[in-house]
Amino acid sequence: MRRFRLLTLLVVFITLIEYSTYPAHAQSPDNPGDIASALATEETVRVVVSLRTPAVGLQAQAVTLSQNEVLDALPVEDFQLIQQYEVLPGLAGQVTAQGLAMLLNQPEVEAVALDLPVQVALTESVVLIGADTVWNELGFTGAGVNVAVLDTGIDTDHPDLVDNLVAQKCFGHGTCPPDNTDESNSAEDGNGHGTHIAGIITGRGTTSPRGGAPDAGIVAVRVMGNNGTGYTSDVIAAMDWLLAHQDQFKAKAINLSLGGGAYPGVCDNADANTQLYAEAVRAANHAGITVFAASGNRGLADALMAPACISGVVAVGSTYDANLGTVTLGNCTDTNATVDQVACVSNSGSELDLLAPGVAIDSTALGGGQRQESGTSMSTAHAAAVAALMLQADPLLTPAGIETVLKETGVPITDHRNGRVTPRVDALAAVTHVAGIDPITIAGTVRLQGRSNHSGAEVFVSMDPCAEIVSGAAAAATTGPDGYFEIVALPAGQRPQCLQVLRFGYLSGQHSAPAGNLGVITLPAGDFNNDNVIDILDLTYVAVRYAGNDMSVDVTGDGLIDIFDLVIVARNYNKHGPVENWQK
């Protein structure tokens, strides 16, 4: 009987709405429709606000006055400030539809637009190895640790590298800048490879992706010319120089994304080149310097190039950090490249120690931008970056200790070319291990009532007790189609007190003092005005869109807004959130 009365009410609502007028949505004058569309499905959206440019002179003061005038006219509940720039005439914040209308009526406002999401390609590799969690949750960024990059040099003016450049040197048989000498104090890059490698290690993320250890220092030594080639003697000279100046520059790791030849097994005594390498590596290890070297890009399944084949070197091969489909690298092709698959181009052998992402990696480029490169060179830089994070967490780590931890905490990956299992670096696991942090894992599954695809639910964690409204922090995880989420490595002593789950159109869910696998929670459908109660307003929201194309109210996810969607919402009438009925 109750269901019949609710359905009768809905029919009345639909009849009334057929003769009503849809409310107009505020729009940005320079991008009509985008903000209105976003606000049709979200209570607030993130926008940037451009203010009228003040006259030249006293610009900082004029900008501040203009910003404050706009902010004073906006209620906090309609505009939550995210950024107030110091000299640029603008603001950024989270705005409601009413707040948007107020903004557009302010004489100081030039334009309002959606703060478009930005994504960088190195994000995938950084996230895969857990480096972003090391920065954000554990607070380690490589600060105080210097890494020597022996390569084609470095763009000394690149905005993502200049602040981290500790020293520079060149050894180059008539190729050293600025006067083509054999040696100089300039490592200016004329090729781009060294700049790319340095960015993977320590890029600041201004104009290119953030590196794995964004606060690590770089000692740049140019040992290859503008054509990307050089001599072993120059590499050895560079290592000799580093050892002689260890007290001054204090490099704790050396990155060698270079090499030559093909050597099965340990190659310390294979020839004069490898012998010199072996001496240099032994001296470096004795001085507390960990040496990382690229395995090579010839696709060999049983040999590495030198110096990767030297004992005491951490030899690194290449994997994918994303599902890329068919990829051709050099003279080989992977027809179904997937995350953590060993790249066909990567050399392997008994002396291979680690794997790391190395395909389609975006990083710093000559001239201040970024470019994309692939190869074991890029993988080596990822491993060196993780070592910098580990050394910040425990400065007393030895080269042998670093190699052991990287291997023991890495993710085991099988190379199907030879059946060899090699660990892929895991920054999060390695750093938590050396820092003595006992991480926890919080996992669970979120079901969206009426749907078979449960993706898009955002999971938030807070150190504060559960409240009715989630704070403005970024989501710790987002569910996939199966609804599963997993959050790891929250530091001991800072256990989260509350977990909350949000998805537009559903009541929120929460769990106090979350830890371990929380089980499964089903979010009731129908909360379209985000007030954590399903009432007559939500029923109306669905009814006005009946048979329309606003898929945000398609509760069942079948592509239609019909009586089934209305019935589900009606059944949930008067339900309140947040719900807490997690089922193991």
Give yes or no for a contact between 526 and 505, defined as CB atoms under 8 angstroms apart: yes
Fold of 441-571: Immunoglobulin-like (2.60.40)
The per-residue pLDDT for range 109-138, each reduced to its tens digit, is 888 877 643 222 244 578 788 888 888 878
Q: Which of 580, 584, 546, 559 is nearest to 569 (CA)?
A: 546
Collect all residues with Cβ–Cβ distance below 8 Å to 405 and sequence separation of at least 6: 390, 397, 430, 433, 434
For 136, the token pair is 């954000």
pLDDT band at 580 (very low <50, low <70, confident <90, very high): very high
- Are the C-beta atoms of residues 424 and 470 closer than 8 Å to each other? no
**CATH for the stretch 23-114:** 3.30.70
Look up the CATH superfamily of 122-394.
Peptidase S8/S53 domain (3.40.50.200)
pLDDT tens figures, 396-438: 999 999 999 999 999 999 999 999 999 999 999 999 999 988 7
| Domain positions in the chain | 23-114, 122-394, 441-571
pTM here?
0.64
> What CA–CA distance (Å, rounded) separates 67 from 354?
51
Catalytic residues: 151, 193, 377
Cis peptide before 159 (omega within 30 of 0): no
Closest alpha carbon to 239 in 297, 186, 285: 285
Q: Radius of gyration over alpha carbons of the chain, in Å?
A: 28
Residues 267-281 have pLDDT tens digits of 988 876 787 788 788
- Polymer length of the chain: 584
Q: Residue 340 and residue 156: Cα distance in Å, rounded?
A: 33
Rounded CA-CA distance 27/339 in Å is: 41
Residue 436 region by backbone torsions, left for phi larger than 0, else alpha for psi between -120 and 50, else beta:
left
Task: Determine the average pLDDT of the residues in 71-93.
Answer: 81
Whether residue 27 has pLDDT greater than 60: no
Q: pLDDT tens digits, residue range 467-518?
A: 766 655 678 889 999 999 998 756 555 678 899 999 999 999 999 989 889 9
Residue 380 has pLDDT above 50, yes or no: yes
